[in-house]
Structure 1
């Protein structure tokens, strides 16, 4: 293990002697002295992850074997060895006399007694996104934006990066979907408020997670349309079409094509900008070709 300095988002809510566990992005956890430790992938670490995701709940031995050693025989001692290794690692770095993050055998399974001293980033991420959705549903926009921003700050990468077990993939896709919905909400809030830079930043983060997200491409087209940047609208449409063909062998849907058609036919509301001569407007001939191609679909 080695020290880590990339967990500033978790430190925001830390109280004295708080233990933080970072499962989004590169796995790491802190000790009471606020020293961050990384732990290379092995089955003990995977067991730690399963028990943390199911914190304070008993996970049966058969279920743990199914999740972590799906091909192993029931007589295998792999689970017992992983439990022993996990306990030894936690005792070494957190102290054997602690009353948190303890692995206990109970009711034919194992449970991770987490305790109030422990903050797990993926749990905090889910808590903030849930609270943000609730605030948005109640019409409390400023509160929702603040909570969504705190949530996406915690989302520093895919869940349990580097792990390929089936349970990790399921959890990873769930948290990824929450991150996409959070960035989508931030983009929509920013567009409603006329904060085009913030909206573009939210779209950029969306596309970093999902490179073929058509809704994010449409928002980028809207942003540049509102700025009167028609060539940029074309460029984002072309990139969208390229990504959809590359990933799914699909063309942009009718909403995206209709948006481009509206923009290039100058049917889209444009925010006031300094006057520009027609001769200085880039891509003038190409826009006519695009409109003709769209109208033929």
Structure 2
């Protein structure tokens, strides 16, 4: 008798390194060629018929599509062989790719994608933020950040991947910036610093992050850290973007080194 494993029938992670489990078993032995890329695209677009010419454009963007060509058929055969090699988890396959209307349709039930969960968390957080429900906004933005384990398909490249990667980056920046602002409102300087570091890993040219770091370290009298982040900011903006920092950055640095940002409560404690 077939026994169903716990968890979703299909689980895939697209952030960072790609991984997929079908029926609780990892799918690792992809054939050479475009089989894995084809499966990734169909999985993201599951439940929709994708025309053959569109798939060909996605996989071979510099080549001209021909209905008599064999490249797409070979890639599809490779995907199906990989899926058919998996031991069945139930009476019906967890994933099936069918021919439909001059295209392909990936049919799957009980699917979990980190990309879907991420998008849902962002949407829920944004709705809560607009409604003024900051506890729920914080909770769902935090969930989105936890799911973002790196760039979308970080080591792979294609036009559709680059587009999704850029979109996901914009959304995680929105989440992290909300959490950073919230940490500053609460006076949680440690959380603010950590969030700035996470933000810089995604976008090292966001000048406001260096301003936040200088403010936080300036409040604590950590002038070495203030100088460090100021120098990094100048170097990245000037050397890599050929632009100068704004006057705000210069003013924050000057006030910090003069001790004008120092936390008065901390000074009283030392005294």
**TM-score per shorter chain, which class?**
0.7 to 0.9
CA distance in 2, matches of 1:174, 1:145: 21
- The alignment's TM-score, normalised by the length of structure 1, stands at 0.80
Q: Counterpart in 2 of 1:204?
A: 197
Q: Give the paired residue count.
A: 262
Q: Counterpart in 1 of 2:105?
A: 111
Extract unaligned runs of 5+ from structure 2.
none
Quick check: 1:27–1:38 contact (8 Å CA) kept in 2? no
Q: Counterpart in 2 of 1:90?
A: 83
User: What SS is found at the alignment partner of 1:59?
Assistant: strand
Q: Counterpart in 1 of 2:19?
A: 28
Quick check: 2:36–2:79 contact (8 Å CA) kept in 1? yes
CA distance in 2, matches of 1:23, 1:263: 42
Q: Does 1:53 align with 2:44?
A: yes
In structure 2, relative to structure 1, the CA distance for the partners of 1:39 and 1:258 (3 Å cut) is farther
Deviation, 1:266, is 4.7
Q: Does 1:180 align with 2:173?
A: yes
Q: Counterpart in 1 of 2:35?
A: 44
Q: Counterpart in 2 of 1:143?
A: 136
User: What SS is found at the alignment partner of 2:72?
Assistant: helix
1:249 to 242, 249, 271: 242
Quick check: 1:212–1:247 contact (8 Å CA) kept in 2? no
User: How big is the alpha-carbon RMSD for the aligned residues of Structure 1 and Structure 2?
Assistant: 2.4
- The alignment's TM-score, normalised by the length of structure 2, stands at 0.87
Alignment of 1:1-297 (within 5 A): 16-32=7-23, 34-38=24-28, 42-73=33-64, 74=66, 75-93=68-86, 95=88, 98-115=92-109, 117-268=110-261, 270=263, 272-274=265-267
User: What SS is found at the alignment partner of 2:266?
Assistant: coil
CA distance in 2, matches of 1:271, 1:19: 55
Residue range with higher mean Cα deviation, 104-113 or 198-207: 104-113
User: What SS is found at the alignment partner of 2:155?
Assistant: coil
Quick check: 2:221–2:259 contact (8 Å CA) kept in 1? no
Deviation, 1:234, is 2.4
Extract unaligned runs of 5+ from structure 1.
1-13, 278-297
Quick check: 1:28–1:36 contact (8 Å CA) kept in 2? yes
CA distance in 2, matches of 1:107, 1:18: 27
